[in-house]
């Protein structure tokens, strides 16, 4: 039985030579013909001959014996004639892949080839990420299964890596595959047949069959191509330097205590005044213009407490949220990363969300003229007595962390409307708001103790008790915004739209009505001048 080996293989871009692919000062040595029995004159081998060094734990443990470790590796360049052109494949051994120049190889080679090669019913593991909150998940199955087994959600997850057994027609070349930038395969192919193996991989890479087998995997895809990233960064910088910042906003990259509502920008030694709101215009007070993304690294958004003491500081590039269209494709920037989103997918999401948009007047809600959400929630019942403020109340079962049923509650036509209110902010925070709607509904529908707690909060009034016992609930998401409400769903960051779409589908599955309302923000001039 032939021995099975593991290979990691990259594909260089068309026109990129071996010399182009190597970093400057790569420190590798080219193997001479006399140093190998390999009878393949077109294959070029570079070796990494790392000096011996003691492991860190030798001194840590006080070991006096002579211990050394070596990290050797190799890069093997295999040119292949494909369709009257020469394409170069690179086999990497050890850690030598770090020696390849950024932008020299095809960034989708590994994943795309893997998707075309593997049997869709024999997936072994997945790694996914949710771009709205950067949540990562790696799952592995003891037995091969379909993608649905791994809880893949097309409206939520991006596939980072995928591993599985290959289809029978490719099994003579390799048995299993894992794909990211490179493809990692197990194969018994001998060295003289490596060029044929590479040609087989290229055929798989060139195929679009994966779109029929995995149609939803590329609704959202991370951007890896350096040249595209450069173009997108230029678009972000141009937006920053211009006068129209409609597609560029600044947000906070995590949940904050609502009492920490004072902000300040710093850039090198410059410091802005204390602000109640963070915006592009206020940042430009300390950084009027930027010539590159590197320049933003010197800028920070600081959070201050009520005593004007520094609580936290965030790099500005992690606080930017930006949407743009480049070469007819829709791109989104958040949490310091770029994503490409399928246009048809965006349209389907927006059409679904627009059906649930209602006007502030429909609910008798006042405009937002308050310093924080808590103040607003407490003020609503004074403006409209049909509302009850439930902010900071809890319906969590005994022993669990507090869970709010909602911020505001209203009885309407034998239905309890649960209002969740949030000032427009970062995708991760809006995702938290939307998830609240699911969590509270699930508790109220499934936990009798949670329904009893809600009754107690409402003083066990029969009018409310009857509706609660019937489980007649609906969910309303209220988003506070200073922007033009007529813009509808476009007021939400792109990944917030995706997150909300996922939630409303879950609510509809639970046969729960939902709606979305944008609350106009009208901060009083006197309040603005205080900051």
pLDDT at residue 232, rounded to an integer: 96
What DSSP string describes 179-237?
ESSSEEEEE---GGGHHHHHHHHHHHHH--THHHHSTTTTSEEE---HHHHHHHHHHHH
pLDDT at residue 154, rounded to an integer: 65
Confidence of residue 5 (pLDDT cuts 50, 70, 90): very high
Q: Is the pLDDT of residue 356 over 80?
A: yes
pLDDT at residue 526, rounded to an integer: 36
pLDDT at residue 531, rounded to an integer: 31
Q: Which residue has the tokens 């027609």?
A: 169
Confidence of residue 320 (pLDDT cuts 50, 70, 90): confident
Average pLDDT along the chain: 86
Q: Is the pLDDT of residue 471 over 90?
A: yes
- Of 223 and 353, the structure prediction assigns the larger pLDDT to 353
Domain boundaries, the chain: 5-218, 226-341, 348-524
Q: Is the pLDDT of residue 256 over 90?
A: no
Contacts of 89 (CB under 8 A, 6+ apart): 9, 10, 11, 12, 77, 78, 79, 80, 198, 201, 202
For residues 486 and 323, what is the distance between their CA atoms, to the nearest angstrom? 18
CB neighbourhood size of 58 (10 A) = 16
Q: Is the pLDDT of residue 525 over 50?
A: no
pLDDT at residue 530, rounded to an integer: 33
Percent of the chain with pLDDT over 70: 91
For residues 405 and 418, what is the distance between their CA atoms, to the nearest angstrom? 7
197, 173 in Cβ contact below 8 A? yes
Task: For 229, list phi and psi in degrees, rounded to 5.
Answer: -60, -40
pLDDT at residue 238, rounded to an integer: 94
pTM over 0.85: no
For residues 357 and 516, what is the distance between their CA atoms, to the nearest angstrom? 5
For residues 440 and 10, what is the distance between their CA atoms, to the nearest angstrom? 48
The closest of 134, 81, 82, 101 to 24, measured between CA atoms, is: 101
């Amino acid at each position: 039985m032939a021995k099975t080996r593991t290979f990691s293989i990259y594909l260089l871009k068309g026109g990129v030579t071996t010399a182009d692919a190597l970093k400057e000062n790569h420190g590798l040595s080219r193997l001479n013909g006399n140093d190998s029995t390999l009878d393949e004159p077109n294959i070029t081998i570079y070796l990494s001959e790392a000096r011996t060094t003691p492991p860190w734990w030798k001194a840590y443990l006080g070991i006096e014996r002579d211990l050394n470790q070596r990290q050797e590796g190799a890069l093997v360049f295999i040119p292949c004639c494909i369709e009257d052109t020469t394409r170069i494949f690179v086999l990497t051994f050890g850690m030598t892949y770090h020696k390849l120049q950024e932008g020299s190889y095809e960034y989708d080679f590994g994943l795309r080839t893997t998707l075309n090669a593997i049997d869709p019913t024999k997936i072994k593991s997945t790694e996914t990420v949710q771009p709205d909150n950067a949540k990562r998940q790696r799952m592995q199955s003891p037995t091969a299964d379909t993608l649905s087994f791994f809880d893949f959600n097309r409206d939520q997850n991006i596939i980072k890596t995928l591993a599985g057994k290959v289809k029978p027609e490719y099994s003579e070349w390799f048995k299993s595959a894992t794909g990211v930038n490179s493809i990692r395969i197990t194969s018994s192919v001998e060295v003289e047949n490596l060029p044929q193996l590479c040609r087989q991989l290229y055929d798989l890479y060139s195929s679009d069959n994966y779109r029929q087998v995995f149609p939803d995997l590329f609704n959202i895809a991370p951007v890896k191509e350096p040249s595209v990233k450069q173009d997108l960064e230029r678009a972000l910088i141009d937006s920053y330097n211009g006068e129209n910042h409609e597609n560029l906003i600044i947000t906070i990259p995590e949940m904050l205590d609502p009492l920490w509502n004072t902000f300040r920008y710093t850039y090198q030694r410059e410091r802005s005044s204390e602000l109640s709101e963070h915006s592009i215009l206020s940042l430009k007070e300390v950084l009027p213009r930027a010539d590159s993304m590197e320049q933003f690294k010197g800028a920070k958004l600081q959070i201050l407490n009520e005593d004007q003491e520094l609580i936290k500081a965030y790099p500005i590039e992690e606080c930017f949220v930006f949407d743009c269209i480049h070469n007819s494709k829709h791109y989104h920037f958040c949490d310091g990363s770029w994503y490409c989103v399928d246009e048809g997918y965006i349209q389907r999401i927006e059409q679904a969300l627009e059906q649930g948009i209602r006007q502030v007047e429909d609910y008798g809600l006042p405009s937002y003229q308050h310093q924080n959400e808590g103040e607003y929630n407490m003020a609503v019942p004074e403006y409209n007595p049909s509302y009850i403020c439930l902010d900071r109340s809890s319906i969590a079962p005994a022993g669990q962390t507090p869970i709010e049923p909602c911020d505001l509650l209203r009885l309407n036509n034998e239905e309890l409307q649960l209002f969740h209110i949030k000032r427009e902010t970062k995708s991760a925070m809006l995702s938290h708001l939307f998830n609240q709607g699911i969590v509270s509904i699930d508790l109220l529908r499934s936990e009798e103790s949670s329904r009893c707690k809600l009754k107690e909060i409402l003083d066990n009034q029969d009018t409310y008790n009857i509706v609660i016992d019937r489980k007649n609930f609906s969910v309303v998401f209220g988003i506070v915004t200073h922007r033009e409400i007529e813009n509808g769903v476009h007021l939400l960051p792109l990944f917030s739209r995706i997150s909300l779409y996922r939630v409303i589908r879950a609510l509809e599955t639970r046969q729960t009505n939902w709606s979305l309302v944008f609350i106009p923000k009208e901060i009083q001039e006197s309040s603005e001048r205080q900051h």
